[in-house]
């Protein structure tokens, strides 16, 4: 949907967005303003197939359906941008007795607002971001809320050390360097220390079963307080359901349940493409760098947004698209099929080590972004920066890995990128200075790491002094 300055948004527009009448409402407005040619509503893609002469033209036949009518069109290239949160995953078969349950049961995708749950007893299955957000919101209206988790999760605060945004301190090149180069035992210890910095997960029943895996953490500032106050309880996996209750694996029972909400995530599939083009193996789609089908004769198809990391999504898909367009245009070339398949197998092994078998689309943000940027010449050269622009180098290496870093050099270079990096903390802190109390206190990027290493050095010095 396009956004027009004088569009008469309804008073209840956030809820109205889910109403089927929205299309009629927008159509009437655009017809009045003679703007119908600028809008197009949802069209189902039912098939994407190679043209008979694909080996020569690299073109695709795309079949679409709208209002029951099928249409076909020829395209020079296709970008698939449906992501991996496509089909709600509802594993009812994994819970014995659920068919006997008489209360309501639905996926978190259908959850809209908490008002209708006032005075209800609600069980949320899943300890991901959606499950925790729903549970904490319902805790203010429902009579009782319980979260059932099979494997636990790390729960992080958006507010990190000294009150600064977590991602601006956590997602840095120096952090990534330490994580990837320290011995595994030290790296795992440091990772768990960071995850437990706010509270001990064991005390709140949240500790992951495999605590050293770098699976995506949950971001929720309210959940620990809700558990502490008793308005949200955390339970293990459900062993079985009865007509009105859930029996957990530890033998405890949640009686009188009115509603079960499945916050069990999503699955993905590409039913409109032949499996020989994009193959799904063990719940993992085989794609080079998560973008290109490796065995395609001509690289005129790319998948955008089919990765998940701690970094922001928009900069990730932006860099994916920048590379994909250059490959399609022919200004960048892909490695051989053998090299691409070897890279896919190598990355699969690393993912199993770092993220586990269930996190097949998970990837390390900075490492992945640097890989993509290298293909188009947009990766910043850190050693060279330290030699030529030390002030900028410190911000780039020790500071937030913001998207400006991939606009310093290469195609799409932006002259304002350097200044944007050097002033990013000013813009971050300005909205919070609605009550002026002194000057904004920007973090010292080197001080926190100096403090970290000073204590071990002191212990070593004392040890040798006493020998």
| Structural domains of the chain sorted by starting position, each given as residue range(s) with its CATH number in brackets | 88-157+198-267 (3.50.50.60)
pLDDT at site 17: 39
Name the residue among 336, 322, 330 with its Cα closest to residue 288: 336
pLDDT at site 13: 41
- Let me know: does 174 contact 225? Beta carbons within 8 Å: no
Name the residue among 431, 402, 426 with its Cα closest to residue 414: 402
> Where are the alpha helices (H) located in 334-446, listed in sequence order?
337-355, 365-376, 382-388, 390-398, 417-422, 424-429
E strands, 8-160, in order: 44-50, 60-66, 69-75, 78-80, 87-88, 104-107, 121-125, 144-148, 155-156
In this structure, how many other beta carbons lie within 10 angstroms of the beta carbon of residue 413?
12
Q: Integer distance in angstroms from the first to the last C-alpha of the chain?
A: 73
Helix (H) or strand (E) holding 240: strand 238-241
pLDDT at site 16: 41
pLDDT at site 19: 46
pLDDT at site 355: 67
Query: Tokens standing for 330?
Result: 């022919």
**C-alpha to C-alpha distance for 16 and 19, rounded to whole angstroms:** 5
pLDDT at site 189: 87
**C-alpha to C-alpha distance for 183 and 192, rounded to whole angstroms:** 14
**C-alpha to C-alpha distance for 189 and 93, rounded to whole angstroms:** 37
Look-up of token digits 């607002």: 113
Positions in the chain whose pLDDT score sits under 50 = 1-7, 9, 11-20
- Let me know: does 443 contact 408? Beta carbons within 8 Å: no
pLDDT at site 106: 94
Helix (H) or strand (E) holding 321: helix 313-329
pLDDT at site 9: 45
Name the residue among 57, 95, 102 with its Cα closest to residue 75: 57
């Amino acid at each position: 949907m396009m956004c027009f300055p004088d569009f008469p948004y309804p008073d209840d527009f956030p809820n109205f967005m889910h109403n089927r009448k929205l299309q009629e409402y927008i159509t009437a407005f655009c017809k009045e303003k003679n703007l119908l040619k600028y809008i197009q509503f949802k069209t189902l893609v039912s098939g994407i197939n190679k043209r008979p002469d694909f080996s020569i033209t690299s073109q695709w036949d795309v079949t679409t359906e709208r209002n029951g009518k099928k249409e076909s069109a020829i395209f020079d290239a296709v970008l698939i941008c449906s992501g991996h949160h496509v089909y709600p995953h509802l594993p009812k078969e994994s819970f014995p007795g659920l068919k006997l349950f008489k209360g309501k049961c639905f996926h978190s995708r259908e959850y809209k607002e908490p008002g209708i749950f006032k005075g209800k007893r609600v069980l949320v299955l899943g300890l991901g971001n959606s499950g925790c957000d729903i549970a904490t919101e319902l805790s203010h209206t429902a009579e009782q809320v319980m979260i059932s988790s099979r494997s636990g999760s790390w729960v992080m605060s958006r507010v990190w050390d000294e009150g600064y945004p977590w991602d601006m301190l956590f997602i840095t090149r120096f952090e990534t360097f330490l994580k990837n180069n320290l011995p595994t035992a030290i790296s795992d210890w440091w990772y768990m220390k960071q995850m437990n910095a706010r509270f001990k997960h064991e005390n709140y029943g949240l500790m992951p079963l495999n605590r050293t895996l770098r699976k995506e953490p949950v971001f929720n500032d309210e959940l620990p307080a809700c558990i502490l106050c008793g308005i949200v309880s955390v339970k293990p996996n459900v062993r079985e359901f009865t007509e009105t209750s859930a029996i957990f694996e530890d033998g405890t029972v949640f009686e009188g349940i009115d509603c079960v909400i499945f916050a069990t995530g999503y699955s993905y599939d590409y039913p409109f493409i032949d499996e020989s083009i994009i193959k799904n193996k063990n719940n993992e789609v085989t794609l080079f760098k998560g973008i290109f089908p490796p065995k395609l004769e001509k690289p005129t198809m790319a998948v955008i947004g089919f990765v998940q990391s701690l970094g922001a999504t928009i900069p990730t898909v932006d860099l994916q698209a920048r590379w994909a367009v250059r490959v399609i245009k022919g200004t960048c070339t892909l490695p051989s099929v053998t090299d691409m398949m070897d890279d896919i197998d190598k990355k699969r092994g690393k993912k199993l080590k770092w993220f586990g078998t269930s996190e097949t689309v998970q990837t390390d943000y900075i490492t992945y972004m640097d890989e993509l940027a290298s293909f188009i010449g947009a990766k910043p050269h850190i050693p060279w920066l330290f030699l030529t622009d030390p002030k900028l180098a410190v911000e780039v290496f020790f500071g937030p890995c913001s998207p400006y870093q991939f606009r310093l050099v290469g195609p799409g270079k932006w002259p304002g990128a350097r200044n944007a990096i050097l002033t990013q903390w000013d813009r971050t802190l300005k909205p919070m200075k609605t009550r002026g109390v002194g000057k904004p206190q920007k973090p010292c990027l080197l001080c926190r790491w100096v403090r970290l290493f000073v204590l071990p050095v002191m212990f070593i010095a004392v040890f040798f002094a006493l020998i």
